[in-house]
Amino acid sequence: MDNRPIGIFDSGIGGLTVFKEIRALLPNEDLIYFGDTARVPYGSKSVQVIRNFSSEIAAFLSLQNVKMLVIACNTASALALSSLRTETSLPVIGVIDPGVRAAVKIAGDGPVGVIGTRATIKSGAYQDRIIRLRCNLKVLARACPLLVPIVEENLMNSDIARMALNMYLSDFKKQEVSSLILACTHYPLLKTLINEYFEGKTRLIDSACETACEVKEVLHARRINSCATSAGRETFFVSDSPEAFSEIATDFLGRPIAGECFLHSWQSEN
């Protein structure tokens, strides 16, 4: 048994979708969340910069004595998962493989749509993994760079959000995709509008629930799950704008964040 916290990080607030599912599935685990709000979005940055950011955050979380790292960011999962696994002895879990497995399981005859940041789509991580599991499945992918800023600015129910979704999703609607992978942890915060756009006819897949299940499985397999019987503690770190983060987090989680949210003293060298 291991009562150390689980470390979860994202480029901003989107990783709260993963945080929420982990909390629901593992109520007794202590959780530390890091949102890199000073440098969001990651999707428009180079591969090396994303790897550097991820490495810095992983090092910071390691100093918090975490027992596991969860990359709650599709872009970082696509581009930095392998490098992080070589840099630390901690188990490191990304969000792509759990999401792909869920998508392939329910895909039917397809086609399957994938929307994500420029870096995620350009990496081909989702497309390659889907084809590897089902070589005859048609995959349509598109980068949607405006969606992360819309979520970060708390504009999820705005006309701007609706116009952006119409611009990005019209081709998917015309081609009648059977399912759509939300390949960015920010996008589930737009799930209501996306479902409304497709009139409920397209299955929406986000990897948060599947990732939480994988976290639980790894904890048990390594025998590092908490033996605590009380509710787990929650601590939130952000690299900028803690007030804005706290407001959106409270709205999304449906409760005031239970831990401490503040601008920590760690400063990037980049």
**Run of H or E including 202:** none
Q: How many angstroms separate the CA atoms of 218 and 177, rounded?
A: 33
pLDDT tens column, 82-100: 999 999 999 999 999 998 9
- Smallest CA-to-CA distance from 12 within 186, 183, 264, 259 is with 186
pLDDT tens column, 97-120: 998 988 888 887 879 999 999 999
Is 184 catalytic? The answer is: yes
Question: What's the token pair of residue 233?
Answer: 């503690």
Which of these is catalytic: 144, 184, 209, 261? 184
- Kindly report the CATH class assigned to 96-207: alpha beta
Percent of residues, the chain, with pLDDT higher than 90:
73
Q: Assess if CATH 3.40.50.1860 describes domain 6-94+209-263.
A: yes
pLDDT at 91: 97
Q: How many angstroms separate the CA atoms of 31 and 23, rounded?
A: 8
pLDDT at 265: 43
Q: Are 6 and 212 in contact (CB under 8 A)?
A: no
> Can you give the C-alpha Rg of the chain in angstroms?
18
Give the largest Cα separation in the chain, rounded: 51
Q: Are 87 and 203 in contact (CB under 8 A)?
A: no
Q: Where are the alpha helices (DSSP H) in the chain?
A: 16-25, 47-63, 74-87, 96-106, 118-123, 125-133, 147-152, 159-174, 191-197, 208-222, 242-253
- N- to C-terminal Cα separation, the chain: 37
Which of these is catalytic: 73, 144, 209, 261? 73
Q: How many angstroms separate the CA atoms of 259 and 165, rounded?
A: 34
Question: What's the token pair of residue 4?
Answer: 């150390």
Is 73 catalytic? The answer is: yes
**Within 13 Å of residue 79, how many CA atoms lie on the same side as its CB?**
25
pLDDT tens column, 18-50: 999 999 999 999 999 999 999 999 988 999 999
Q: How many angstroms separate the CA atoms of 185 and 73, rounded?
A: 6
pLDDT at 127: 94
| 54 phi and psi angles, rounded to 5 deg | -65, -40
- Smallest CA-to-CA distance from 11 within 48, 53, 47, 49 is with 53
Note down pLDDT in tens along the chain; length 270 residues: 899 999 999 999 999 999 999 999 999 999 999 999 999 999 889 999 999 999 999 999 999 999 999 999 999 999 999 999 999 999 999 999 998 988 888 887 879 999 999 999 999 999 999 999 988 889 999 999 999 999 989 899 999 999 999 999 999 999 999 899 999 989 998 999 999 999 999 999 988 988 999 999 999 999 999 998 899 999 999 998 888 888 888 888 888 886 666 645 445 554
Q: How many angstroms separate the CA atoms of 242 and 264, rounded?
A: 10
Q: Are 16 and 37 in contact (CB under 8 A)?
A: no
Q: How many angstroms separate the CA atoms of 20 and 254, rounded?
A: 10
| 207 phi and psi angles, rounded to 5 deg | -90, 0
Indicate the angle between helix axes 208-222 and 96-106, nearest 10 degrees.
120
**For the chain, which residues make up each domain, given as ranges?**
6-94+209-263, 96-207
Which position has the token pair 């696994």?
85
- Coil, helix or strand at residue 113: strand
